[in-house]
Amino acid sequence: HIMVVELHSEQIEIAFDSFDHLKTSPIFGDYLSHRFADVGQEIVLIAPDDGGVRAREDLHKNLRQDLIAGQASVHQLRKRRAMEEKEVLDFVGEVDGKIAIIFDDMMRSGTTMFQAASGAKKAGARKVLGVAAHFFGLDSKKHGLFEERLAESDLDELIVSNTRPAVVERLARSPILRQKLTLIDIAPYMGRAIRNYETGGTIKDMLGSLTDKRELYGVLHQAGS
């Protein structure tokens, strides 16, 4: 049996007979719903590029609907022969005066997320949060250290899970990350999923049976604390 967290390419599922895909949108959706419970209809969900539309839709389904003011998209085109270079072609959506939340499955060097955040701020968003399941935070040969780019970016906060354990040690070493990054622990989610499989249940049934999804995660670090 194969169990994975937030696949970048969901087509991989069909290669296995026994497979559980643990998406992080139920975790992030629940966390954001509790955190912004009192803001009213203020949140706009943003897909940072064309490939992120499906992830944005998954988060939309798992977020309290009365908090959502709309959705937006950033159209970015990767420059030829340049892995870290993208050109923003268009920003579509109304974010003026709203809280913009950019959701992506992974954050490598941050170029996609940073440019999407810049587009949201230029469009009038009062606050921009980035959310990513898998955090790499790679330095760029051309643009410099990731932490410095994060500090200079238009992201007010970056929320990630601990699928990559190195993020805990990196957080401890970096004042910039401690100021900007919120770290969500999904170990309870994985543990419950394993027990659920052993008793013959499905992930959908497991999530549906919970009255409080906060049983599936914890906050290891809150940005600025």
Give the residue from 198, 87, 201, 180 showing the smallest Cα distance to 135: 180
* Cα 87 from Cα 115, distance rounded (Å): 9
**What pLDDT is recorded for position 87?**
67
pTM of this prediction exceeds 0.75: yes
**What pLDDT is recorded for position 10?**
75
pLDDT at 190 over 80: yes
The average pLDDT across 124-145 equals 94
* Cα 175 from Cα 183, distance rounded (Å): 14
Residue 160: which pLDDT band, with cuts at 50, 70 and 90?
A: very high
**Do 116 and 48 meet the contact criterion of CB atoms below 8 Å apart?**
yes
**What pLDDT is recorded for position 89?**
66
pLDDT at 82 over 70: no
Residue 17: which pLDDT band, with cuts at 50, 70 and 90?
A: confident
